[in-house]
Amino acid sequence: MDTALFQALLSGLAVGSAYALVSLGFSVTFTTTKTLNFSHGEFVSAGAFIGMSVLFLAIGKPLTSTSFGGVQPGALTQLLALLAALGVMGAIGWLLFVLGVRPFARRPGMAWVMSTLGFGVILQSVGLAIWGPKPVVVPSPVGDEVIRLFGVGVRPQELLMLAVAIAVMFAFDHVMRRTMVGKAMRAVAQNPGVASLMGINVSLMMIGAFVISSALAGLSGFMLAPIAQASLFMGLAVGLKGFSAAMIGGLSNARGCVIGGFLLGVLESLVNLWSAQWREVAIFALVILVLAFKPNGLFGSKMVEKV
């Protein structure tokens, strides 16, 4: 039983890493612009396919291939694919903000919600037209040989994803708390008008938030593809659970969002030991329970509006 629990813990932390990266992306846009990208799940899928396409091109296969045929791309190729996924998704995030968020953000109503949802539908439809609905098995940059730790098996990609999520969390926390860019983003989050008077380029900070958020979605998709296969529908569940993790941890607290992602991943894995069909019930029951007693999340702080 101890071995099974340890296996569930490791697997849960690996899956929770994907939720944590997505959750952090939600936090970045909310704390800076008070808006969210409700097509974040589609951005995860797009990041996986952009990285996969670069790998195909690098080994001489067509962009629309559906199999690597046993070919293992090298480390440099994998790095190039990762950079392409981050760069392209960051550019798409900039496009989303300019076309789908900024024109509606300061108007009455919730038009930006529908615009972000619509952007995701367009993104998925374009992906289906190019690659089709078939999932693709993507080779891991660190191999697929199972590593034995204390009697349990874990894939190297799972450990890599966990390490990347932790590194991103600490890096982002350092930027937000210790650098001028982070202080500027926090100033924009508190009061855009005052931040503008202090010489901060508010528009640039908001664009940067969406670029970073979308790049994190691309990173999550690229890292998750070798574990769960690349599919244009893989991001739906990841995006929804990433948002749930942000609600549990607190949208206004980046650390809390990451902790929420790990918490959901571990809970999901532990419930699988008992009965897999109750997994989704347990996750969203936890979300409802937390929000019932802590509406701002476990680590979120109440936003005070001064008039």
Secondary structure of the chain in HEC code, one letter for each residue: CHHHHHHHHHHHHHHHHHHHHHHHHHHHHHHHHCCCCCCHHHHHHHHHHHHHHHHHHHCCCCCCCCCCCCCCCCHHHHHHHHHHHHHHHHHHHHHHHHHHHHHHHCCCCCHHHHHHHHHHHHHHHHHHHHHCCCCECCCCCCCCCCEEECCEEECHHHHHHHHHHHHHHHHHHHHHHHCHHHHHHHHHHHCHHHHHHCCCCHHHHHHHHHHHHHHHHHHHHHHHHHHHCECCCHHHHHHHHHHHHHHHHCCCCHHHHHHHHHHHHHHHHHHHHHCHHHHHHHHHHHHHHHHHHCCCCCCCCCCCCCC
């790095």: which residue's tokens? 79
Is the pLDDT score of 162 beyond 70? yes
Cβ(213)–Cβ(37) under 8 Å?
yes
Mean pLDDT of the chain: 86
Q: Which residue bears the tokens 């799940």?
A: 41
Whether the CB-CB separation of 137 and 68 falls below 8 Å is answered with yes
Average pLDDT over residues 174-198: 82
Confidence of residue 52 (pLDDT cuts 50, 70, 90): very high
pLDDT the model gives residue 304: 47
At residue 108, the pLDDT reads: 67
Helix axes 156-178, 254-274, angle to 10 degrees: 160
Mean pLDDT of 174-196: 82
Token reading at 225: 């593809």
CB 227 within 8 Å of CB 213: no
Q: Is the pLDDT of residue 294 over 70?
A: yes
Q: What is the pLDDT of residue 82?
A: 94
Spatial neighbors of 9 by CB under 8 A, at least 6 apart, are 266, 269, 270
Identify the band that residue 133 occupies on the pLDDT scale cut at 50, 70 and 90: confident
Averaged over 119-139, what is the pLDDT? Answer: 90
Conformational region of residue 147, where left means phi above 0, alpha means psi within -120 to 50, and beta covers everything else: beta
Residue 306 has pLDDT above 70, yes or no: no
pLDDT one-digit tens code per residue, 26-43: 988 888 888 889 999 999
**Cα gap 99→185, rounded to integer Å:** 21
Looking from the CA of 249 toward its CB, the CA atoms found within 13 Å total: 29
pLDDT, one tens digit per residue, over 76-126 is 999 999 999 999 999 999 999 998 888 876 666 678 888 899 999 999 999
pLDDT for residue 221: 92
Q: How much is the pLDDT for 88?
A: 95
Q: What does pTM read for this prediction?
A: 0.90
As a whole number of angstroms, the distance between CA 132 and CA 149 comes to: 38
- pLDDT at position 219: 94
For residue 279, how many C-alpha atoms fall within 13 Å in the half-sphere facing its CB?
A: 15
- Cα 277 to Cα 280: distance, rounded to the nearest angstrom: 7
Q: What is the pLDDT of residue 122?
A: 92
**End-to-end Cα distance, the chain:** 57
Domain segments of the chain as ranges: 20-63+73-235
- With a CB cutoff of 8 Å and minimum separation 6, the contacts of 118 are 100
pLDDT of 63 above 90: no
Per-residue model confidence (pLDDT) at position 106: 66
CA distance 40 to 120: 8
- The tokens for 261 are 């992602």
